[in-house]
Structure 1
Amino acid sequence: MKAVQVSRFGGPEVLEYVDLPEPNPVSGQVLVEMKAIGVNFRDVTMRANKFPPNLMGRSVPDTPFVLGSEGAGIVAKIGCGVTEVSVGDRVAFYHPEGASYAEKVVVPSWRLVPVPIDMDLEVSAAAVLQGLTAHLLTHLSYPIQPDDYVLVHAAAGGVGSLLTQIAKWSGAHVIGTVSTATKARFAQDLGADDVIIYTEHDFAEEVARITHGSGVNVVYDGIGLATFEKSLASLGRRGYLVMYGSASGPVSEVNTSIFVRKSIYLTRASLLDYTETRSELLARSEDVFEWIKSGRLRLSIYDRIPLRDAALAHRELENRITTGKVLLIP
């Protein structure tokens, strides 16, 4: 079978399109014939060997290794004892050790979620990691309330675009940050009340202006190091900083005394901790799929790229030109 592996750590050019033996599922595993593969910024950081050690239960393996953790396809073969799915089922998954940049992937059966017959597999592949993340951030990490002021970083990105929509229909005043005017228009179209182009304006100063100095109730931050201090400054009293990524690098040390001035809360959410059981995984995925099918949640697929051209997908993410999800198609 064909797969894309990291031959050595480095730039997009280290991604190689290779022939590998087809994996065979053992007890509790399923072989999935992939139809669409989600590309995430964590893939970029792993390829460059900048992934924080043991983040989300995984450290970077030795090279060569196959990238990827998300996708959708058809069950091709099942191992002993598998009861959750059958051959021919349409499924999607997020699995941190999924090695999903391949034509066929072995996944633990309990991590597979059924894809509704009236949902395109490409849409489901784009929805799993980012959709479930947006769900947990807005319903558990900090449940958004009507009239909250919410700051969403990267509001035109994969998770950010979903957070913007969920926050808006939850009755919040949504402030988004983006890097370009094109992305600003995209975020506004999704429902953002105010959009700050952070390359032109200091977002903390703009938040203070918009909120008349009161600050926001919650900041959803997948950027990390570059935004951390100003995200804290943007919060109001008893505000929540909900971190879920580190695109600019991890925040390595935190002086807890900085939380005293406004009684601030800080949490770093990981999807694995909110999908520990199959029942929890299914409940969240069913919610997200229903939101998409009903039209309540608009999922944007920015690009569909052949698997052999995975390096192009990584360049798109690194150059910050995407609005929505990038998929690889085997």
Structure 2
Amino acid sequence: MKTIQVDEHGDANVLKLAEVEIPKPQAGQALVKIHYAGVNFIDVAMRRGWYPNPPIPTPFTPGVEGAGEVIAIADDVTEVKVGDRVSFMQEEEPGLDRAYAEYIPIAAWKLIPLPDAISFETAAAMTAQGLTTQYMMNEFVNLQPGKSILIHAAAGGMGLNLVQWAKHLGAFAIGTTSNATKAQRVLELGADAVIDYTQEDFVQRVKALTNGKGADLIIDGVGKTTFAGDLEAVATRGHIVTYGITGGIPDDINPFDLLYRSRTVHGADLFDYIANREERIMRANAVWDAIAAGWLKPQISQVFALEETIAAHRLIEDRNNMGKILLKM
């Protein structure tokens, strides 16, 4: 089978196409024929050696997310059967098989059943980012009319999902983007205001849009270039959720400083919110239901062949995508 391997940490050129034998499922595992894999910035961070800490030893295959069909199961597996359509998330731990491959052996409890109406393409686009959106919109602040949210990188795959979910809940949604084209897309999906951070100070703009109060909730997957401003832009008793480092690792802060205006900072990792099968399926079903209801519309930026993985990584690193990037097997 074809797979992508990283033999050393580095830039996108370390992504190498390889041919290996199709694996067999071990105890507790199912073998999934992958149709699509999602490309996420966590894949870039793993490739660079930024995340996790310590970095995953090389060689390894990237890709935490995919969708496909179960083609074999171990004798002890009860969660799925051959022929089931599924999506999955795979942790960042060393030694695990991952999604940039034509097949993956994976613990059967991690597999998420797909309704007939959810295609493999949609599932690969909406498993990681959909489940992340679901818990971020429900676990930190009771978003409702009268509450405000600031969403950084609002034109990316995560950002466009967050904007739609926040508006469904009735919140006042503010997004940041880097140009007018991206801003228009974010507005089309329901944002109340968009800030071009290359032209405006987002802190001052957020305060102006909220009558000086600041945002009740800030969702930040950027990191270094935004986090210091978040601390100023957040409302008294407001919450900042940091879940990514597309702009680099933020500078350290003194936790004592958070006492001023009673600000709260949350670190957020999806795998901590899907640590068992029940929670994983509950969150996924909420996403599938939202898509079926029509108020959450998957946003796919571009689909690459597995052989084009380097180009896919360069696109997400340059932050030129509007929506999700996929690999098609």
TM over 0.5: yes
Deviation at 1:204, TM superposition (A): 0.5
Residue number in structure 1 paired with 2:199: 200
The equivalent of 2:77 in structure 1 is 82
> What residue is the counterpart of 2:30 in the other structure?
30
Partner amino acid for 1:15? L
Q: Percent identity?
A: 40
1:179-202 Cα shifts (integer Å, max 9, x gaps): 111110111011111100101111
How far apart, in 1, do the equivalents of 2:97 and 2:124 lie? 13
Offset, 1:142: 2.5
- Asked if the contact 1:142–1:242 (Cα under 8 Å) also holds between the matched residues in 2, the reply is no
Note the C-alpha offset of 1:74: 0.4
1:140 is paired with a residue whose SS is coil
Mapped partners of 2:267, 2:141: distance in 1: 11
Q: Which shows bigger deviation, 309-318 or 247-256? A: 247-256
Q: Which residue of the partner structure matches residue 156 of structure 1?
A: 155
Residue 33 of structure 1 aligns to a residue whose secondary structure is strand
Hey, what does 1:45 align to over in structure 2? Answer: 45
Residue 294 (structure 1) aligned with residue 299 (structure 2): no
Q: TM-score, normalised by structure 2?
A: 0.96
Question: Quick check: 2:49–2:56 contact (8 Å CA) kept in 1?
Answer: no
Letter in 2 for 1:72: A
1:3-33 alpha-carbon deviations (Å, 9 max, x no partner): 0111322211111111012111111111100
Return the letter of the residue paired with 2:49. N
Contact 2:151–2:218 under 8 Å retained in 1: yes
Indicate the residue corresponding to 1:112 in structure 2: 111
Unaligned stretches of 5+ residues in structure 1: 54-58
Give the SS at the match of 1:238.
strand
**1:209-229 deviations in Å (ceiling 9; x for gaps):** 111211111101111122111
Q: Which deviates further from its counterpart, 100-109 or 20-29?
A: 20-29
- The within-5 A match list for 1:1-330 is 1-53=1-53, 59-96=54-91, 97-251=96-250, 253-330=252-329
Moved more, 41-50 or 171-180: 41-50
What TM-score, normalized by structure 1, do the two folds share? 0.96
Tell whether the 8 Å contact from 2:152 to 2:177 is kept in structure 1 after alignment: yes
| Alignment coverage as a number of residue pairs | 325
Instruction: Give per-residue Cα distances to partners, 1:275-294, cap 9 Å, x unaligned.
Output: 12211111110010111122
Helix, strand or coil: the match of 1:141?
A: coil
Distance 2:205 2:97 in 1: 41
Residues 89-112 of structure 1 show CA distances to partners (whole Å, capped at 9, x for unaligned) of 100001124411000011110010
Conserved 8 A contact 2:88-2:127 = yes
Residues 108 and 267 (structure 1 numbering): CA distance in 2 closer, same or farther, change over 3 Å? same
| Deviates most, 215-224 or 244-253 | 244-253
Judge which range, 91-100 or 180-189, deviates more: 91-100
Name 1:56's counterpart in structure 2. none
SS in 2 for 1:47: helix
Deviates most, 136-145 or 65-74: 136-145
8 Å Cα contact 1:70/1:98 also seen in 2: no
- Contact conserved, 1:151 with 1:216, CA < 8 A, in 2? yes
